[in-house]
Amino acid sequence: MTTGIANPQPAARVLADILPGSLVRDAQLVIASAGFVGLMAQISIHLSFTPVPITGQTLAVLLSSTALGWRRGLAAMSLYALAGVLGLPWFAGGQSGYAGAAFGYIVGFVACSAVCGWLAERGADRRLRWSIPAMFLGEVVMYAIGVTWLGVDLHVSASQAIALGLTPFIWGDVIKAAIAALLLPGAWRLVRARR
């Protein structure tokens, strides 16, 4: 016996789930998110004392991977890394290939996307009190990988790696994390208001 009631759409776990579609939508979102990170990488300021530039990538990674969820976010950041290594000039400042001492941050983007996306799937992007710690945890993961890679690549001590790869960027990334932490719950409020 059938009731004649259509199967309801599953509740959106992340912002990307609000968009209609499935596989094609997911592929488009992955490509668009990788492109967004590549575009934000072109906002790049090179500092004379470190091989790591100041970029807009961190904000793009936090926003896109959280909006996509961990699987699509991981796919987007993996695509970003792989396409850049293979020659697409969308790393910081239009670079491509192996990014040397700064490449650990690109690897960190992949891990950060999994962490932030996983937390978003559990609702951490819907309220400011959870969004802020989620963004900072993503950045901690990214910096743990990036600074470690930088230290190994440059053959410097842990304190030197921190001085070159973390200390100059702390306040800028606190601001980027705060922006992402504010925008995501705001986007959810807009979605709820339109329903």
Domains and CATH numbers, the chain: 18-194 (1.10.1760.20)
pLDDT at residue 188 in the model: 86
- Look at residue 195 in the predicted model and tell me its pLDDT: 66
pLDDT tens digits, one per residue of 101-124: 999 999 999 999 999 999 999 998
> In the Cβ-directed half-sphere of 7, how many Cα atoms lie within 13 Å?
2
Q: What is the mean pLDDT of residues 34-59?
A: 93
The residue written with tokens 């492109």 in the block is 35
Q: Looking at the predicted structure, is the pLDDT value of residue 7 above 70?
A: no
Q: What is the pLDDT averaged over residues 144-169?
A: 96
Instruction: Concatenate the DSSP letters of all residues of the chain into one string.
Output: ----PPPPPPPPSSGGGGSS-SHHHHHHHHHHHHHHHHHHHTSEE--TT-SPPEESHHHHHHHHHHHH-HHHHHHHHHHHHHHHHTT-S-BGGGB-S--GGGHHHHHHHHHHHHHHHHHHHTTTTSSHHHHHHHHHHHHHHHHHHHHHHHHHHHT--HHHHHHHHTGGGHHHHHHHHHHHHHHHHHHHHHHHHH-
Please give the share of the chain, as a percent, with pLDDT higher than 70. Answer: 94
Residue 3 — pLDDT band, cuts 50, 70, 90? very low
Mean of per-residue pLDDT scores for the chain: 89
Q: What confidence score (pLDDT) does residue 100 get?
A: 86
CA distance 91 to 96: 6
What's the token pair of residue 111?
A: 């891990």
**What Rg, from alpha-carbon coordinates, does the chain have?**
18
The pLDDT confidence band at residue 187, using thresholds 50, 70 and 90, is confident
Query: What does the pLDDT read at residue 6?
Result: 38
Q: What is the pLDDT of residue 168?
A: 94
Flag whether pLDDT at 8 surpasses 80.
no
Rounded mean pLDDT, 62-87: 95
Q: What is the pLDDT of residue 11?
A: 63
Residue 157 has pLDDT above 90, yes or no: yes
Whether 4 has a pLDDT exceeding 80, the answer reads: no
Instruction: Give the pLDDT score at 57.
Output: 93
CB 162 within 8 A of CB 147: yes
Tell me whether residue 43 is exposed, middle or buried, using C-beta atoms within 10 angstroms of its C-beta: 0 to 12, 13 to 18, 19 or more: middle
pLDDT at position 137: 95
User: Across 35-39, 50-54, 183-187, which has the greatest mean pLDDT?
Assistant: 35-39
